[in-house]
Structure 1
Amino acid sequence: GVALLTKAKPLAVRKGLPTADEDALRRMIIADLETPVGTLTVLNGYFLQGECRDHPTKFPAKQKFYADMMNYLSEHHSPYQPIVIMGDMNISASDLDIGIGEENCKRWLRTGKCSFLPEERECMDTVLQWCLVDTFRALHPDT
């Protein structure tokens, strides 16, 4: 599950995405917080790991979770609204995010193990193309 701790009382809190099944309800908290520049929406998620590309349920569920989140954003928000998406995304968006060594990386790709498959990176690219920035990578481009 996920938790979201704030000093200020949220304006609204939603558990799960509108299309979520019971398991997915425990994987996302969405809160609206009042800030000096307007309402900030925070999506705090525990994104599915997916296991491997060939898993009959886990990998498709991971892709669906990302698609559901993007559908939620496009239906309820604008790319120009203040939004934070945070949590355990379970995707290494760039090679700099992979810490398992080159040989293990090649083996994981060869066997379809999740975390940095091209399909997963496409999911992350879709998120970032929604006028979002990987703040860690922006602050630490070479780390």
Structure 2
Amino acid sequence: MRILSWNVNGLRAVEKKGFVQWMRDESADVVCIQETKAHPGQLSPELLEPVDAEGKPYKSYWASAKKAGYSGTAIYSRIEPLNIRTMGIKDFDDEGRVLIADFDRFTLISAYFPNSQEAGARLDYKLAFCDAMLETCNKLVQSGKNIILCGDYNIAHTPIDLARPEDNEENPGYLPEERAWMTKFLFAGYVDTFRAEHPGEGGHYTWWSYRTRARERNIGWRIDYHCVNEAFQPEVQRSIIRPEVTGSDHCPIEIVVR
């Protein structure tokens, strides 16, 4: 089963850059989207029901922010979930931060973690979200579920997860508090699947600033993840980054599970 995740930085914008054809070409089983910046009523039929390589439409599910043109998550799936819901916490649901889909063998979470912003202006909100996410994952695992938490975490965890760590120690996404939460999350029984497959390897990034030709020079950050609970890790066959796919300042990431 192939599950892709992509912060598209505006679904209507990426539609103009070939998103619908990309969905058809990939024909993944599930595609999780972050930063849709739209409500379903604003979208074309092709975005609401893109088709796979056989012309069969995906089912789509949406969590949109109350604020227009902001945040938002979505899940496209060729397999109908048993259940789909938001996080159930108003402060985060109002920004469309999370969609949770239950499948037979696991629960999939598409999440758009907040940006802590300059000088940590939203750091408290970010950390509250992070703690709520950890609690959500723990409850699911304790109830006997396996989980895949995918999306834009807006956190580069270790120095090898960004090109210039020394220059960014006081910048959002690499603040000590954010990195400490990521460490706590992994120690709580979760696995960063890409890092498990590529231990110690730098130079792999999922986001590049639009400024200064950062992507062309691969001056980036790895802030998009597929994480799973430890018991589910043996089911992960592959976890990769797809930097060849353009259209956003992020690239997609992909996980293959048995």
TM-score normalized with structure 1 length: 0.79
Identify the match of residue 71 of structure 1 among 129, 135, 154.
135
Q: Comparing both structures, which one devotes a greater share of its residues to strand?
A: 2
Alignment pair present for 1:18 and 2:84 = no
Alpha-carbon distance, 1:76 to partner: 4.2
How far does the alpha carbon of each residue in 1:43-82 deviate from its partner, in whole angstroms, 9 at most, with x for none?
Answer: 1101011113442xx1111011101112223344428631
Identify the match of residue 119 of structure 1 among 173, 177, 180.
177
The structure whose Rg is larger is: 2
How far does the alpha carbon of each residue in 1:120-141 deviate from its partner, in whole angstroms, 9 at most, with x for none?
Answer: 0111122212321111111112
Count of equivalent residues: 129
SS at match of 1:5: strand
Q: Which amino acid aligns with 1:41?
A: T
Identify the match of residue 49 of structure 1 among 101, 115, 120.
115
Q: Determine the structure 1 residue equivalent to 2:157.
A: 93
Shift in alpha-carbon separation, 1:93–1:27, aligned structure 2, 3 A: same
Q: Partners of 1:8 and 1:54 in 2: how far apart?
A: 39
Q: Partners of 1:53 and 1:76 in 2: how far apart?
A: 34
How far does the alpha carbon of each residue in 1:96-140 deviate from its partner, in whole angstroms, 9 at most, with x for none?
Answer: 1112x2xxx33432xx32112221011112221232111111111
Q: Partners of 2:146 and 2:103 in 1: how far apart?
A: 10
Structure 1 segments unaligned to the other structure (5+ residues): none
Alignment pair present for 1:3 and 2:80 = no
Q: Which amino acid aligns with 2:108?
A: V
Q: Which amino acid aligns with 1:120?
A: E
Q: Determine the structure 2 residue equivalent to 1:32.
A: 102
Q: Partners of 1:64 and 1:76 in 2: how far apart?
A: 18
Shift in alpha-carbon separation, 1:78–1:11, aligned structure 2, 3 A: same
**Cα RMSD after superposing both structures:** 2.0
Alignment pair present for 1:137 and 2:195 = yes
Moved over 6 A (4+): none
Q: Partners of 2:188 and 2:77 in 1: how far apart?
A: 25
Structure 2 segments unaligned to the other structure (5+ residues): 1-71, 203-258
SS at match of 2:156: coil
Q: Determine the structure 1 residue equivalent to 2:166.
A: 106
Task: Give identity over the alignment, percent.
Answer: 29
Q: Which amino acid aligns with 2:159?
A: D
Q: Comparing both structures, which one devotes a greater share of its residues to helix?
A: 1
